[in-house]
Amino acid sequence: MTAGPGQRSDAAEPLLSVEGLTIDLPGGVGQPGLVEDVTFEVRRGQAVALIGESGCGKSLTSMAILGLLPAAVRVAAGSIRFDGVDLLTCRRRELRRIRGGPVGMVFQEPMSSLNPTMTVGDQIAEVRRLHLGERRSVALKQAGQLLSRVGIPNAERRLGSYPHEMSGGMQQRVMIAAAIACDPKLLIADEPTTALDVTIQAEILELLRDLRRDLDLAVLLVTHDLGVVADFCDDVVVMYAGHMAERTPVDRLFYEPRHPYSSALLAAVPQAGRARTSLTVIPGRVPSAGQFPGGCRFEPRCEHSVDDVCRRPQADTTIGDGRRTRCGRVASGDLTLKGTVRG
């Protein structure tokens, strides 16, 4: 039986496999291991989230997959394989073929990602012209169908609109239309609901859910919103200060987190029905590049820290149920954490 969207197929190779990814920021004020030893996979039709506070390396990891890292930053170790192709060693021409074709990307801020001097129709059509070699007239016709597919009314008329003539939610739909223009196998979405009101957020998530079902589309979702993760994703990669703190199925994260940082994130989410209670906060902040602790990177903020254990470097450990954690106390069974069960 073929696995459906979101279901695991252990016999099949993962669509995307990231192994031991390490990203350095060279230079006198740089940071080796800006992202260090990150490993995860995304299977066909599956939605995987990268979560964590700002500055934890989520966007860097996603940008590394498509070779879009800033010029000063480099991949120092590891491998990234997509559908059998090593993206870190393939030719630049092959990477350009994959980027925008089999792998689509939805960037964080549509207004700054869309070209203000081009109509939205031409921007979507350009993707098909570059990757599929279509004539402009044919590509524009397909662009109209794509706008209709992502829920934009009067799609044919909207082809001639410029980004500034559209609302934030409509701009995000245009970004998604461009990302799926060539029927990708994987969509990387970096904070696709940021700065949108709650109603529009729900509409965008429903759109992505429909695309997963209709296209058997895999999604790598970069977000800090645990509500979105619970509603949309299958697996979660929790990142902190460039390390993968935990990798787990999404339901297990909420019931039984396996890293103190995951538990702290859950505790910091406001809970419905608990009026007049103080909001739990994680003390301190994510360390800047060049200031990472030598042991567990979360140790200075962790309420479960034990000096002789946590001030030593922590190994990325596979625990008994196949999940992974970078906490020595949890891996040894010395620490059990509480989750936040959602009804």
Distances 236 to 134, 246, 324 between C-alpha atoms, Å: 38, 8, 11
pLDDT of residue 27: 72
For residue 246, the cross-strand partners are 238, 325
pLDDT of residue 227: 87
Question: Among residues 263, 316, 229, 277, which one has the least CA distance to residue 38?
Answer: 316
Question: Among residues 240, 274, 190, which one has the least CA distance to residue 54?
Answer: 240
Do residues 317 and 326 lie in contact, with contact meaning Cβ atoms separated by under 8 Å? yes
Do residues 49 and 221 lie in contact, with contact meaning Cβ atoms separated by under 8 Å? yes
pLDDT of residue 160: 96
Q: Please state, as a whole number, how many other Cβ atoms lie within 10 Å of the Cβ of residue 180.
A: 22
pLDDT of residue 276: 64
pLDDT of residue 322: 79
pLDDT of residue 321: 78
Could you tell me the pTM of the whole model?
A: 0.91
The torsion angle over the Cα atoms of residues 188, 16, 290 and 108, rounded to 10 degrees, is: 0
pLDDT of residue 271: 72
Low-confidence ranges of the chain (pLDDT < 70): 1-11, 28-30, 272-276, 341-343
For the chain, state the CA radius of gyration. Answer: 21
Q: Which stretch of DSSP H or E encloses residue 226?
A: helix 226-232
What DSSP assignment string belongs to 102-160? TEEEE-S-HHHHS-TTS-HHHHHHHHHHHHH---HHHHHHHHHHHHHHTT-SSHHHHTT
Q: How far apart are CA 258 and CA 252, in angstroms?
A: 9
pLDDT of residue 28: 63
Instruction: Show me where the domains of the chain are located.
Output: 256-331
Q: How far apart are CA 190 and CA 206, in angstroms?
A: 16
What is the tens place of the pLDDT at every residue in 97-122? 999 999 999 988 878 889 999 999 99
pLDDT of residue 273: 62
Q: How far apart are CA 202 and CA 199, in angstroms?
A: 5
With 0-12 / 13-18 / 19 or more C-beta atoms within 10 angstroms meaning exposed / middle / buried, residue 47 is buried
Write out the two tokens for 249. 């199925």
